[in-house]
Structure 1
Amino acid sequence: MASRAEELTLVGLCDVEIDSKRHTCSFLTNKVGGLPDWSPVTSRRSPRCGRCGAPLAHVVQVYCPLEASRYHRNLHVFACTGAECSGRSDCWKVLRSQCLEEAAAVGRTSSRPDPAQEAPPSATDWCDTADDWGVMEEEEEEGWGGGVKKDRQVPEEAAAPETEAAGEVDVSSQLQDLRLVDSQEEEEEVPVLRAFFISVVDESDLCGEEDDEDLRHAQRLLREYERREGVAVGELEDRGGGGGGGEEEKYEKTRARHGDAVFSRFMKKISLCPQQILRYCRGGRPLFVSEPPAGVAATACGSCGGTRTFELQLMPALVSLLRRTDGGGGGEAELEFGTVLVYTCRNSCWTSGAAVEEFCSVQTDPDQQLFR
């Protein structure tokens, strides 16, 4: 399995808030917050913080199948909302789950018989032509991102395969909503963050999508930054290495007054769309907010021992959206970070229904006020 050969960067933008009474979500949905939507054959998991042991909140769900693959594929990002755990990589977890297209079709047919529901799209379609990470179950409404979303209509499969494996999938899907919890989980309620759909656009199309107000806002941010730091961001050139994955990057030697040319490059790159909450470019080059530690992507896959590659990162604009549904924390954002970089198994290994833990690295934001 492999991703697209060319380096295509997709940008995620916050869309309408999810209303459980009006909207239906599944593992095909891309969203912020809420509870994770697992595929019909994936065992549910409730990860805990590596530092304090508290249940982690679900931060982002991304549907991201690979080109020429028979698998549906998801990434779920979780984080600890504890004040002492903010900004620590060991307080975040990333779980990857996969599901064969055939198994997903059987599971959805048996557990969700509503004829109005759409069948899962082919995992190969997303890589070739689509610019969206999910299928909307509702008709497009005003304020849903305009022309960004493009729904895909795929015919429902006629019948489920009559095999022993299909029978097993049928049982697992029917039991999907059943969950055994221990006494500790009952005492410690899992924090749930407000849920939003994610709209997706190709970064190369941002100039066409950006309206005048957003562009003026980006220009004001850049002018403020240049005045404070005594540097013209437009004069800083990106001389980073062209390789992806774990290759070390060479950055521009020109230093801003605060000595952080890496952050200057970060600001320049996102200036066209400072409201982006997520960047996706599997096999591409991450956008660091500060100098990365040596060997940040050198960790081996915990499942197959193979190498990992960069896949996506969470952006500072996401921070303001991460608030509890129950009003806990006084309405303040639950998490603080500059960027969260996610690295996944290059081979996307998969052997069972248990989600595979991947690697993430958290960088704190040196200038959080720029994004508020």
Structure 2
Amino acid sequence: MPCVELGFLEECESWKLESRMFPSKVGGKPAWLSLKTLPSAEQLKCNKCNCTMVFLCQIYAPYEDCDENTDIWINNFHRTVYVFICRNSNCNDRNTTENIAVFRNNIPRMNDFYSYDPPEEKPDTTFDVRKFTSLCNACGISAEKRCSKCKIVFYCTREHQVIDWKNGHKGICLNQSELNNAETLSQILFSEWELITETERIENEEFDEAKELQKFEELKIQGKTGTLENVSEYELNNHASSEKDKVFLKFKKQISYYPEQVVRYSRGGNPLLIAKEPLPTSIPDCELCGGHRQFEFQIMPQMLSELKEQNLDFGVILIYTCTSSCVGNSVNSYKKEFAFRQDVSLSDN
């Protein structure tokens, strides 16, 4: 069974989250790996409201455990998986992923964008992604619309141009010096963090299901079912009705050892489910190579509370990716992968 790496949020200097550093990160703008053939604004539209989805997180996860002579290792020397989500609360339907998009990108060590050798751990003012591609000034995705006044910054949609204008571009639009040095964090983005990992280590401890259920009944009598031990009220206050669910109790027990975990990574392993249904039993094969997809990581509900997100809510988001991490017809292009959302059961309402 593959080990589980847990992800936690940590503050860091902004240069450490640039593309050249191959970061794992949450919030802010995406740090694109390949700087060509990025996902288009059309590909990142929410299937519910048709608005542009916002970057949630990315995980740098190369295939380091493969034979170095195989195509998988060569093509996946650098590899990152990206997750986007719509911030419109009206699109946040239970157990569906119409408002979520996942993209994978992998490139060889010898590529058009980065040095063959590891990057130096220091700021580098000479590196600029704008040498390779145009990005939306508001959200950081691929953009084709240029500001008609300064003709320097780009936008993915008219909506984001208006937002960025109000967010500060209006005051510096015709000041080229300020434009070249400006780095704005739009109100539409999540706060930006580095994602650091730690291997999950839990002492073998028998899980007493009957005892946990009895504990829940006692809390219910006391009117405290919304404040379970080691799990904050905000994280689970919308799920209190289903705490009799045995799967949920096991979920609660597992995360109690590391209550601040926002990601669980275990490529080829099994997800930690939060409810007994729906189950990820019919994961579609890769549309490019026809191969199977495997579980790679999951986003935990704690991520929303850590980001102080008040409008969205989910149980867990499970990410499945092509087992061979294929490149399709293009080494540089971004490949769409599969997300499965599972919310806590409401069967006990």
State the TM-score bracket (shorter-chain normalisation): 0.5 to 0.7
Is 1:74 equivalent to 2:80 in the alignment? yes
Is 1:9 equivalent to 2:9 in the alignment? no
RMSD: 3.4
Aligned length: 259
Structure 1 counterpart SS, 2:260 = coil
1:1-372 map, 5 Å: 6-16=1-11, 18-20=12-14, 23-26=16-19, 28-45=22-39, 46=41, 47-66=44-63, 67-68=65-66, 69-70=73-74, 71=76, 72-86=78-92, 87=94, 88-103=96-111, 106-109=112-115, 119-120=117-118, 137=122, 174-177=131-134, 180-182=143-145, 185-189=156-160, 191-204=188-201, 225=216, 227-228=218-219, 259-322=244-307, 332-351=309-328, 352=330, 353-365=332-344
Check the 8 A contact 1:282/1:309 in 2, yes or no: yes
Q: Residues 7, 308 of structure 1: CA spacing in aligned structure 2 closer, same or farther, 3 A cutoff?
A: same
Structure 2 counterpart SS, 1:269 = helix
The more displaced of 278-287 and 259-268 is 259-268
Q: Which runs of 5+ in 2 are unaligned?
A: 67-72, 124-128, 136-141, 147-154, 161-185, 204-211, 222-240
- Give the TM-score taking structure 2 as reference length: 0.65
Q: Residues 39, 295 of structure 1: CA spacing in aligned structure 2 closer, same or farther, 3 A cutoff?
A: closer
Check the 8 A contact 2:36/2:132 in 1, yes or no: no
Q: CA deviation at 1:136?
A: 6.3
Q: CA deviation at 1:137?
A: 4.9
Q: What is the letter of the counterpart of residue 315 of structure 2?
A: G
Q: What is the letter of the counterpart of residue 356 of structure 1?
A: K
Q: Which runs of 5+ in 1 are unaligned?
A: 1-5, 110-117, 122-134, 139-171, 208-220, 231-255, 324-331, 368-372
Q: What is the letter of the counterpart of residue 84 of structure 1?
A: N
Q: Residues 343, 222 of structure 1: CA spacing in aligned structure 2 closer, same or farther, 3 A cutoff?
A: same
- Give the TM-score taking structure 1 as reference length: 0.61
Check the 8 A contact 1:338/1:363 in 2, yes or no: yes
Distance 2:30 2:342 in 1: 24
Check the 8 A contact 2:48/2:91 in 1, yes or no: yes
Structure 2 counterpart SS, 1:268 = helix
Q: Residues 295, 180 of structure 1: CA spacing in aligned structure 2 closer, same or farther, 3 A cutoff?
A: closer
Distance 1:38 1:223 in 2: 49
Q: Deviations over 1:148-173 (max 9, x none)?
A: xxxxxxxxxxxxxxxxxxxxxxxx98
Structure 2 counterpart SS, 1:89 = coil
Q: CA deviation at 1:180?
A: 4.0
Q: CA deviation at 1:263?
A: 0.3
Q: CA deviation at 1:316?
A: 1.4
